[in-house]
Chains A and B, each alone.
Chain A
Amino acid sequence: MENNFNIIISGVGGQGVITLISLIDQAALIEGYDLKSSELHGLSQRGGSVLTHVRFGKKVYSPLVERGQADLIIGLELLEGLRTLNFANKDAAVLINKYIFPVLGGLPREEIIKKLNETAGKKLYLIEASEICKEKLEKEVVSGIYLLGYACYKRLIPLKEGSFLKAIEKLIPEKYLDLNKKAFQLAKQA
């Protein structure tokens, strides 16, 4: 890998964004990459927008992805996914959960999807991750893990399945381990 790989993960506070960052960090470490990530806690987590950065490669200095330089965007919510599109580079894969967390004065679902189609470029993936997880696993909360699995199996992120599974085993508490593994591997069928 010549350049560093840059990822933006966005969502709404409480959606499990930080778990996703930790898993990608760990998988990158397993594959011998240097890495940095940046997250926000506190006020921004009380149902506010959460925007986080992950970078890995040969040598990473800054923990922040610059605008226009993300290779992959993972949006756990439609509006928050749309909001981060200014970080995408022209070839970026944009992976978005077709899930809406209502906000005062928010946009209708169709309008967000229309804007995403207009702005995101060719590699836009709109996925019913919440729906799929609710239906197959009875738990919406792992929709982020499903999206991560999707990115892995569709090769939108240059890290191996085995590294992610090892990362999940290392970081997810025993009680939820099986659920998270299932959510990740469920994306294989997609």
Chain B
Amino acid sequence: MIKRILLGDEAIVQGALESGVDFVSGYPGCPSAEIGEEFFKIAKKNGIYAEWSVNEKVALEAAIGASFSGLKSLVNMKSFGLNVCSDSLLPLAYTGTKAGMVIVVADDPSCWSSAQSEQDSRGYAYLSHIPMLEPSDPQECRDFTKLGFKISEKFNVPVILRITTRTAHQRMPVSFNETGKRTTKTGEFIKNPRQFSTMPPRTMEMKKELLEKLEKIKAYAEKLNINPIIKPQKPAKIGIVASGVAYLYVMEALKELKIDAAVLKINLFYPLAEKSISKFIKGFKKVLVAEELDSYLEKEINAVAKNANLKLQIFGKNLLPETGELDAEKICAALANITGKEFKANTIKPLSLPKRTARLCEGCPYWLVFPALKRIAPEAIFGGDIGCNMIAGLGPHNIQDYLFSMGASLGISHGVKKSTNQKVISIMGDGTFFHAGMPALVNAVYNKSSPLVVILDNRITAMTGHQPNPGMGKTGLGQDTEELKIEDIAKACGVKYIKVLDLANAKEFEDAVKEFLEKDEVSVIICRKICALLERRQKI
């Protein structure tokens, strides 16, 4: 074993390497993007195929194809990615995998780098019936990735590894085994439609098989003691059930308050091994459930307690917030409330200071676009999209009338255009256009809508840390590939009014906007100018 300081995301890559992963796909998002980036660095040496897929649905599907062909796969994405790929995620639970598959999803409590919602992706475990592991620190990121592959291989199910920002972007010394050089493995697809096709009436049988698998996984989790109990030296007066990074805050709080508590650490969130919970809560009068965001575990424990310990007092979201990340201080306050232990809550208030929100970088081409749009069409409705362009919604620009999800600027703009007589401008980046903007463009043209679409093509997926996309002529692995031109796609989608501008001439852009705003068909302006950060980096 060697020990090295690793970021949670890097530790996942290490765990996958040790498990013999062959195929990696994903879509960059914060806080999961480092997983894919790390794989590109080591892919060649380790015989791994890795790609940035065009969106999370395709990424998952690519991994399904690899798994069916006998290759071990890992898919990486941020929280919202699971929404995008859910259409294929649910049938995957039914078919099961052939070679092992781990799907990493990174949630972002407190929305540090997420715009659209504070999603708790644990809900997908219930919806899809897919086993879900929750590491709390980088060491567990490595260990649970290995465990995930083990469970996946043993039961032929995909396994979701759910992490959060404070796990993904946490560093600590991680112990791991070095892996040797490997050559690329070639798989073989052996036909088996009985397993790989979800077609009724087989679908119903598959569901039954899946539910049976889950019972077996529960028993396996009990046998392997996957959810351990951490006991204090003295007899425990109170029980705590904790999952994910909340476990670390609990341990910190117990140390600080000098409370003797037993902690049941839930590592396998789904399927939940109720027997061990039942056994754990029997010995206590009071139990605190420490979990971030939604109260899934608390509800489960309430249900188990109805049979195991009716008198048990269960504390959870009555003392801990359902929104925002937890920390040791919040756990201390909750524990003090339950035990009567003295805890002086911190009264230091942060100074009231001007906020420093995200802004466009120096030399960013968007500086030329937002003020011009505001000046030419102050009355227009502006649809915002995900990526650097959502900074349009912050000062000094403040031109974003709605912001939802990848590609949604155009989907919604079409609806607004159809419902009103107002001028509507949809703003999106190149990465977003390829991810989910294309179907929205087809829909707008097909249904005779007429928003103006301004595509800010800065030649990279910038916000998440400069990952390549189909518009650049480079793959994630750095190979040359076909450069997909957005104007060609728009033309093929039936758009008649298309302009490609390099933003060298401000008047040219303004004239184009004025002209296209008068059109009664969909029009597209592509502003093609490289991201300023990328340009500077290329010069070094």
Contact = CB atoms under 8 A, between A and B. Distances in A.
A86 B351 contact: yes
Contacts of B5: 22, 25-26, 29, 35
A104 interface: yes
B359 A46 contact: yes
Contact of B112 (A40, A66, A107): A40
18 contacts: A29-B3, A35-B173, A36-B137, A36-B171, A36-B248, A38-B170, A42-B30, A44-B358, A46-B359, A60-B172, A61-B249, A61-B255, A63-B166, A64-B327, A66-B329, A80-B356, A85-B351, A86-B351
B136 to A, nearest CB: 9
Nearest to B250: A61
**A-B complex: 6 closest residue pairs judged by Cβ atoms:** A42-B30, A42-B113, A46-B358, A43-B113, A62-B252, A61-B251
Interface in A1-55: 12-13, 21-22, 25-26, 29, 34-44, 46-49
B166 A38 contact: yes
A22 B251 CA distance: 24
A104 B112 contact: no
Contact-size category for A: 35 or more
B169 A36 contact: no
B353 interface: yes
B242 to A, nearest CB: 11
Chain B binding surface, main DSSP class: loop
Given A38-B166, A46-B358, A46-B388, 15 more contacts: A12-B356, A22-B5, A35-B173, A37-B171, A43-B114, A43-B358, A44-B113, A61-B249, A62-B251, A62-B327, A64-B249, A66-B346, A67-B346, A68-B346, A86-B348
Interface string A54-87: 0000001111101110000000000110110110
A13 B112 CA distance: 13
A190 interface: no
B170 A63 contact: yes
A26 B30 CA distance: 24
A41 B355 CA distance: 18
Contact of A40 (B34, B169, B329): B169
A82 B353 contact: yes
A42 B171 contact: no
B464 A82 contact: no
Contacts of A47: 356, 358-361
B413 interface: no
Given A25-B5, A36-B137, A61-B248, A48 B357 contact: yes
A106 B360 CA distance: 17
A68 B348 contact: yes
Contacts of B329: 66-67
Contacts of B359: 46-48
Given A43-B30, A47-B356, A63-B248, A38 B351 contact: no
A22 B346 CA distance: 29
B170 to A, nearest CB: 4
Interface string B87-128: 000000000000000000000000011110000000000000
B354 interface: yes
A114 to B, nearest CB: 12
A154 interface: no
Interface string B156-177: 0000000001100111110000
B354 A79 contact: yes
Contact of A107 (B166, B171, B248, B353): B353
